[in-house]
Chains A and B, each alone.
With several copies, the nearest count.
Chain A
Amino acid sequence: MNRERAVKSYPGRPDCVPARPRSILGFVSKLTSLKDAVARFVPDGASVCLGTGLEAVIPFAAGHEIIRQGKRDLTLIGPISDMLFDQLIGAGCCRKVVAAWVGNVIAGLGHNYRRAAERGVPHPIEVEDHSNFTLALGLLAGSLGAPYIPTRSLLGTGILESNRSLKLATDPWSGEPVVLVPAIVPDVSIVHVQRSDAEGNCHLWGTLGVSREAALAARAVIVIAEEIRPREQILADPNLVLVPSLKVAAVVHEPWGALPSPCQGFYGRDHDFFMRYHEESRSPEGFRAWLDKWVLGVPDWKGFLDLLGTETLERLRVKEHHLSDPLDYGAR
């Protein structure tokens, strides 16, 4: 119930002081199934930030579970989102998109995004246009608890017209025009990481994108981890911890959970999967068939991986390991 408050959805522009996720504090294990995590922390109508690592560590496992649970009226927040937002939009989970780019990075346009934005299929969506920088700055402002951050990007563009959340203002020192980017505070941010302990102290490396700002700005964080490690192993490198565990609502152990996007040190990108999705999602029927097969036709992520097949996993698995030099945190 307190937990619900921690991810309560706020109408309009998000307040830039998040509700204190009180019940999240404390040192109980937050390990849970992806099913439970999505059921409890992604209520209908919530604003959800995901796909924060740009083309890498996209939490597809969580996205598919959101679709299976038939979540509705979500506000999706993310920089480029790749294929994931297109899937959530096509499945009817999304009321509004706050993003810099929505489509299929390797193949181009997102067919479901087009159908929804152009023809209201499966239903109309609201689009809040950003650039990668303004989205990053909005999340940074949220993470700072600052109401907004000014930028000189996007002056003179249509984005200032179509995105009513941005304000044109004047730098009181130089008198020059600036764009004010209001704080973006997701109800919940879903981040995929390499390793976490049961409390949500977690390590992410490789492509960061806006993952840190997204996690710090959010009212609650769901951590999806390739590996669950003992606490001492994570806290042996406190500088690498992505977000203080007091912000973490749930920790989910879901190996391969970012496929078909890559995860540094664990697996590469399944290029063909993105290409096939692009072809198969051209028509609503084609997308439906894709959805039935890959998402609704399986009970969970394990089911998705079985469909993908062990040969594919073996092909994508990282085989050449490049380890960093350990850091000495010795204190005496």
Chain B
Amino acid sequence: MTYTDRELMVIAAAREIGDGELIFVGMRLPLLAFALAKRTHAPRALGLFENGIVRESPAPETPFTISDPPNIAGALWSTTTGNIMALLQQGLVDMGFIGGAEVDRYGNLNTSYIGDWKRPKVKLPGSGGGGDIASLATRFVIIMPQEKHRFRERVDYITSPGHGDGRDWRRKVGLRGGGPSALITTLAMFRFHPDTKEAYLVSFHPGQSVESVRAQTGWDLKVAADVGPTPEATHAELEIVRSCDPQGFWTR
């Protein structure tokens, strides 16, 4: 059974969700990943949304944005953005998903400025809740398309803090959250070294190889000793993903 990179990204993301965990979800692929996890290995996971929503189960039909009425009806709680972010700052949120325009070897994300922020080449939309999730969640997972120009040795601007310049940078700057635990791209999957906190390749998606992934990475990429193909998407997983995205708006 064939599937798209995005479908595999959703499935890989879902596998990062533990049962009973509090997950800061957000839009697009993470929303599908949350729906998948709930219907497979994490039935007791809870989803948080920055518009003020806590949901036990995803909306019956996948909303385009987190504020679409179907995402509010049937919520466990509909409160203020501040009260949701407060759960992050209280240290209660186990994991959050973040995307980015640029990432570097330590998992720092830039969604603000390409080039010098004083005279930007490109003005990106900004943090949204990304900077808060990256700062405060117990761990976070990065989901983004992989292209060499997006995978930088050093990002121009840190919007969402990863591991800074590595090692105990987060502790030194006073960040309480644990930082990025995984990086899921259109080509591969990365984790972060427990000591150096540098991203390393753990698996490549179908049709990819260590070399093809390295070719789309803007730094001298470290590779796991046991690197191999990303675990296949199962038939059951794909059926759920497709039932949540029948038009393939997100995953095609």
A–B direct touch, CB within 8 Å, in complex? yes
Q: Closest residue to B59 on the A side, CB-wise?
A: A331
Q: Which listed residue (A133, A159, A209) contacts B159, Cβ 8 A? A: A159
Known contacts A55-B66, A132-B50; A155/B78 CB under 8 A = no
Instruction: Check if A129 sits within 8 Å of B112, measured CB to CB.
Output: yes
Q: B138-149: contact bitstring with A at CB < 8 Å (1 yes, 0 no)? A: 000000000000
- A285 interface hit (Cβ, 8 Å): no
Instruction: Check if B131 sits within 8 Å of A157, measured CB to CB.
Output: yes
Q: Which of A21-29, A59-67, A289-297, A301-309 contacts B (4 or more CB under 8 A)?
A: A21-29
- Cα distance, A256 to B119, chains bound together (Å): 40
- A162 interface hit (Cβ, 8 Å): yes
Within the complex, what minimum Cβ distance (angstroms) separates B106 from chain A?
A: 11
Q: Closest residue to B94 on the A side, CB-wise?
A: A20
- Cα distance, A144 to B46, chains bound together (Å): 19
Known contacts A156-B173, A157-B159, A206-B78; A133/B73 CB under 8 A = no
Q: Which listed residue (A132, A156, A207) contacts B170, Cβ 8 A? A: A156
Known contacts A131-B132, A153-B136, A209-B51; A144/B89 CB under 8 A = yes
- B223 interface hit (Cβ, 8 Å): no
Instruction: Check if B158 sits within 8 Å of A158, measured CB to CB.
Output: yes
- A145 interface hit (Cβ, 8 Å): yes
Instruction: Check if B50 sits within 8 Å of A17, measured CB to CB.
Output: no
Within the complex, what minimum Cβ distance (angstroms) separates B122 from chain A?
A: 7
- A220 interface hit (Cβ, 8 Å): no
- A313 interface hit (Cβ, 8 Å): no
- B70 interface hit (Cβ, 8 Å): yes
- B52 interface hit (Cβ, 8 Å): yes
- Cα distance, A216 to B80, chains bound together (Å): 13
In the complex, chain A residues whose CB is within 8 Å of the CB of B86: 143-145, 216
Which A residues, 282 to 332, have Cβ-Cβ distances below 8 Å to chain B?
A: 318, 322, 329-332
Instruction: Check if A264 sits within 8 Å of B158, measured CB to CB.
Output: no
Q: A90-116: contact bitstring with B at CB < 8 Å (1 yes, 0 no)? A: 000000000111110110111001100
- A262 interface hit (Cβ, 8 Å): yes
- B219 interface hit (Cβ, 8 Å): no
Instruction: Check if B136 sits within 8 Å of A152, measured CB to CB.
Output: yes
- Cα distance, A108 to B27, chains bound together (Å): 12
Contact count band on A: 35 or more
Within the complex, what minimum Cβ distance (angstroms) separates A108 from chain B?
A: 7
In the complex, chain B residues whose CB is within 8 Å of the CB of A332: 69-70
Instruction: Check if B76 sits within 8 Å of A201, measured CB to CB.
Output: yes
Instruction: Check if B52 sits within 8 Å of A245, measured CB to CB.
Output: no
Within the complex, what minimum Cβ distance (angstroms) separates A169 from chain B?
A: 11
Instruction: Check if A241 sits within 8 Å of B67, measured CB to CB.
Output: no
Q: Closest residue to A52 on the B side, CB-wise?
A: B81
Instruction: Check if B80 sits within 8 Å of A133, measured CB to CB.
Output: no
Q: Which listed residue (A18, A20, A331) contacts B70, Cβ 8 A? A: A331
Instruction: Check if B127 sits within 8 Å of A100, measured CB to CB.
Output: yes
In the complex, chain A residues whose CB is within 8 Å of the CB of B136: 152-153
In the complex, chain B residues whose CB is within 8 Å of the CB of A117: 120, 123
- Cα distance, A27 to B161, chains bound together (Å): 33
Instruction: Check if A216 sits within 8 Å of B83, measured CB to CB.
Output: yes
In the complex, chain B residues whose CB is within 8 Å of the CB of A140: 82
Within the complex, what minimum Cβ distance (angstroms) separates B53 from chain A?
A: 7
Q: Closest residue to B69 on the A side, CB-wise?
A: A331
- B92 interface hit (Cβ, 8 Å): yes
Within the complex, what minimum Cβ distance (angstroms) separates A217 from chain B?
A: 9
In the complex, chain B residues whose CB is within 8 Å of the CB of A137: 82
- B203 interface hit (Cβ, 8 Å): no
Q: B56-76: contact bitstring with A at CB < 8 Å (1 yes, 0 no)? A: 100000001111111011111
- A161 interface hit (Cβ, 8 Å): yes
Interface centre among B67, B86, B123, B158, by most A CB within 10 Å?
Answer: B67
Instruction: Check if A22 sits within 8 Å of B135, measured CB to CB.
Output: no
In the complex, chain A residues whose CB is within 8 Å of the CB of B72: 56, 206-207, 238, 264, 329, 331
- B176 interface hit (Cβ, 8 Å): yes
Q: Closest residue to B110 on the A side, CB-wise?
A: A158
Instruction: Check if A208 sits within 8 Å of B81, measured CB to CB.
Output: yes
In the complex, chain A residues whose CB is within 8 Å of the CB of B68: 55-56, 262, 268-269, 331
Q: Beyond the given A106-B64, A206-B72, please list 14 additional residue pairs across the A-B interface where CB-CB is below 8 A.
A: A16-B90, A18-B90, A54-B67, A109-B124, A132-B50, A133-B88, A144-B89, A152-B174, A156-B158, A176-B174, A235-B75, A235-B76, A238-B53, A332-B69
Q: Which residues of B line the A interface, CB within 8 A?
A: 20, 22, 27, 44, 46, 50-54, 56, 64-70, 72-83, 85-92, 110, 112-113, 117, 120-132, 135-136, 157-161, 164, 169-170, 173-176
Some 28 contacts from A to B, beta carbons below 8 A apart, are A25-B44, A27-B56, A53-B67, A55-B68, A56-B67, A56-B72, A118-B122, A129-B126, A131-B128, A133-B129, A143-B86, A144-B89, A151-B89, A155-B135, A155-B161, A157-B161, A158-B110, A158-B112, A158-B158, A162-B157, A206-B69, A207-B51, A209-B52, A209-B67, A216-B83, A239-B79, A246-B22, A262-B69
